[in-house]
């Protein structure tokens, strides 16, 4: 079953205006209906759309799994210096950050594989684009390591 998303809502979530998003969708040949677009089609032009929602759901799942660690009397919150409670809280935060990092690494690896396919292509335009993107990615990764 397809999931529809309002173009205006998607544009706000992406931090762009509705006209720009509509233009991107049109340029990609994606049809819309009454201001709505299929989520799968939207992700073709905006792959990051909805990642924050997935992170929120994952964080909720982790908190539920560790609910005992977070239970306390609302009238008597744990003391600030309760290191065990703070460690449990930081553990959930660390797990969330690790999952984000793992997800980004999988996307980058998949992108490099996709670019390798472009490099193997007989199409000179794909070959040029792949070289430019590989050079840009290598520069970005190198600057992040410094």
How many domains is the chain built from? 2
Half-sphere exposure for 23 (CA within 13 Å, toward CB): 5
State the angle between helix axes of 124-145 and 83-120 in degrees (0 to 180), rounded to the nearest 10: 150
* Domain co-membership, 62 together with 127: yes
Same domain flag for 88 and 119: yes
**In a shared domain, residues 139 and 67:** yes
The model's confidence at residue 14, banded by pLDDT at 50, 70 and 90, is confident
d(CA 78, CA 65): 19
Tokens matching residue 124: 């000179």
Q: Is 17 left (phi over 0), alpha (psi -120 to 50) or beta?
A: beta
Q: Are residues 12 and 81 in the same domain?
A: no
pLDDT at 70 over 60: no
Q: Which residues contact 134 (CB under 8 A, 6 or more apart)?
A: 112, 115, 119
Check whether residue 12 and residue 39 sit in a common domain.
yes
d(Cα 146, Cα 144) in Å, to the nearest integer?
Answer: 6
Under the banding of pLDDT at 50, 70 and 90, the label for residue 138 is confident
Q: Which residues of 32-54 are buried (b: 16+ CB within 10 A; e: fewer)?
A: beeebbbeebbbebbeebbeeee
27 lies in the same domain as 68: no
Query: Same structural domain for residues 65 and 132?
Result: yes
CA–CA distance, 116 with 131 (Å, rounded to integer): 9
Same domain? For 63 and 25 the reply is no
Is the domain of 67 the same as that of 20?
A: no
| pTM across the whole model | 0.44
Range of the structural domain that residue 84 is part of: 51-145
Q: Are residues 103 and 135 in the same domain?
A: yes
Q: Are residues 127 and 87 in the same domain?
A: yes
Taking only the tens place, the pLDDT of each residue in 24-53 is 888 888 888 899 998 888 877 877 676 555
Residue 124 and residue 64 share a domain: yes
Distance of CA 124 to the CA centre of its chain: 31
């Amino acid at each position: 079953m397809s999931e529809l998303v309002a173009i205006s809502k998607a544009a706000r979530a992406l931090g762009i205006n509705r006209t720009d998003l509509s233009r991107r969708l049109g340029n990609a040949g994606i049809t819309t209906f009454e201001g709505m677009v299929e989520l799968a089609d939207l992700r073709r032009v905006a792959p990051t759309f909805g990642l924050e929602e997935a992170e929120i759901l994952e964080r909720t799942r982790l908190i539920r799994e560790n609910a005992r660690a977070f239970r306390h009397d609302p009238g008597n919150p744990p003391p600030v210096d309760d290191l065990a409670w703070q460690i449990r809280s930081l553990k959930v935060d660390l797990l969330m950050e690790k999952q984000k990092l793992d997800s980004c690494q999988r996307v980058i690896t998949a992108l490099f594989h996709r670019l390798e396919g472009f490099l193997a292509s007989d199409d000179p335009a794909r070959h040029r684009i792949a070289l430019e993107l590989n050079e840009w990615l290598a520069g970005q990764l190198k600057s992040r390591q410094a």
